[in-house]
């Protein structure tokens, strides 16, 4: 996402209070699990009136063909931005684990290649901000990246965390559970995208990954190489006709900046009518979650997945 390169405020505070923050996150996870227990409905929902039957069927068909569309009355899907990046060092396996324990079923991470072509999970074009190294990721070999400390910048408790390869992240997800929203970060050649697709196939994860990017060519390469992989387009500003763009690219989801989406709320209904889900980024406040929820947004990408999961659980059904 095109958010600031500086770490979130929670991350800066986490340098001194990491242990407390993690405890709070795990407490939120337990609370979310407790609150998610619902009483069974007292009676089944009434059957739709004949005049509404066709519309209901059409809606059900769209959800069946696009699982990223949320069902009526369902909570928004929680997508953990770079893992639980407000509570642990972003784009690391520990951040992913904290997000899972906080109730997130989807984790968003960024992928870029090393100098020798190995896909790594990193947001910035350089390793300077989030590791103890320096230099562009594309100028460092896999061996050099593997030697970096990607945790101590956030808090001493995370010293020794590594920049994971895409392969390591996929193994972790397969072992511990969860799904991946994988952002192809920046411009990628067809061969570089092919390496990413190969990793997804080799690890048997193609049915648990949504590929997103700001770069149209990266999405076109992905669609050509793996037509069955669901795609999402990231946008800082909405296109004049998001539906036309979604159709041209064969998108499952259209993922706009939440600020611009709330300025153009009609886009949600138009995209839904075309069978395209809407995932807003990057939102960390309950007031904005409520606004996006009321618009019908299907998923919210957040640095605070445990809090959003808890907010969902407490949300009136």
In the residue annotation, 221 being an active-site residue is answered as no
pLDDT at 25 over 60: no
Q: pLDDT tens digits for 156-185?
A: 999 999 999 999 999 999 999 999 999 999
Q: pLDDT tens digits for 258-287?
A: 999 999 999 999 999 999 999 999 999 999
What pTM value is reported for the model?
A: 0.83
Task: Give the model's confidence band at 37: pLDDT under 50 very low, under 70 low, under 90 confident, else very high.
Answer: very low
Cβ(232)–Cβ(179) below 8 Å = no
Residues 6 or more apart whose CB falls under 8 angstroms from that of 211 comprise: 182, 184, 196, 219, 222, 229, 230, 231, 232
In the residue annotation, 123 being an active-site residue is answered as yes
More confident residue, 45 or 285: 285
Q: pLDDT tens digits for 114-166?
A: 999 999 999 999 999 999 999 999 999 999 999 999 999 999 999 999 999 99
- The pair of structure tokens assigned to 47 is 């059957």
pLDDT score at 38: 26
Residues 6 or more apart whose CB falls under 8 angstroms from that of 258 comprise: 280, 281, 282, 283, 288, 292, 300
Catalytic residue among 123, 203, 221, 272: 123
């Amino acid at each position: 996402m095109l958010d600031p390169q500086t770490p979130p405020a929670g991350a800066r505070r986490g340098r001194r209070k990491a242990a407390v923050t993690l405890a709070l996150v795990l407490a939120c996870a337990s609370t979310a699990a407790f609150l998610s227990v619902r009483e069974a409905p007292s009676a089944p929902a009434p059957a739709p009136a004949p005049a509404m039957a066709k519309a209901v069927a059409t809606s059900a068909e769209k959800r069946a063909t696009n699982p990223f569309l949320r069902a009526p009355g369902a909570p928004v899907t929680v997508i953990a931005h770079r893992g639980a990046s407000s509570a642990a060092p972003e784009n690391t396996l520990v951040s992913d684990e904290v997000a899972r324990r906080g109730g997130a079923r989807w984790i968003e991470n960024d992928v870029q290649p090393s100098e020798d072509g190995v896909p790594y999970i990193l947001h910035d074009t350089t390793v300077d901000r989030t590791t103890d190294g320096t230099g562009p990721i594309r100028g460092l070999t896999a061996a050099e990246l593997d030697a970096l400390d990607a945790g101590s910048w956030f808090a001493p408790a995370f010293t020794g965390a590594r920049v994971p390869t895409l392969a390591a992240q996929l193994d972790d997800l397969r072992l511990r559970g969860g799904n991946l929203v994988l952002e192809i970060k920046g411009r990628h050649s067809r061969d570089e995208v092919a390496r990413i697709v190969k990793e997804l196939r080799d690890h048997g994860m193609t049915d648990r990954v949504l590929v997103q990017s700001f770069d149209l060519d990266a999405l076109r390469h992905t669609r050509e190489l793996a037509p069955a992989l669901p795609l999402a387009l990231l946008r800082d500003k909405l296109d004049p006709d998001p539906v036309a763009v979604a159709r041209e690219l064969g998108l499952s989801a259209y993922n706009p900046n939440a600020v611009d989406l709330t300025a153009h709320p009609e886009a949600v209904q138009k995209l839904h009518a075309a069978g395209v889900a809407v995932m807003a980024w990057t939102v960390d406040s309950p007031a904005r979650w409520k606004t996006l929820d009321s618009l019908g947004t299907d998923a919210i990408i957040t640095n605070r997945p445990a809090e959003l999961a808890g907010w969902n659980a407490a949300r009136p059904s």
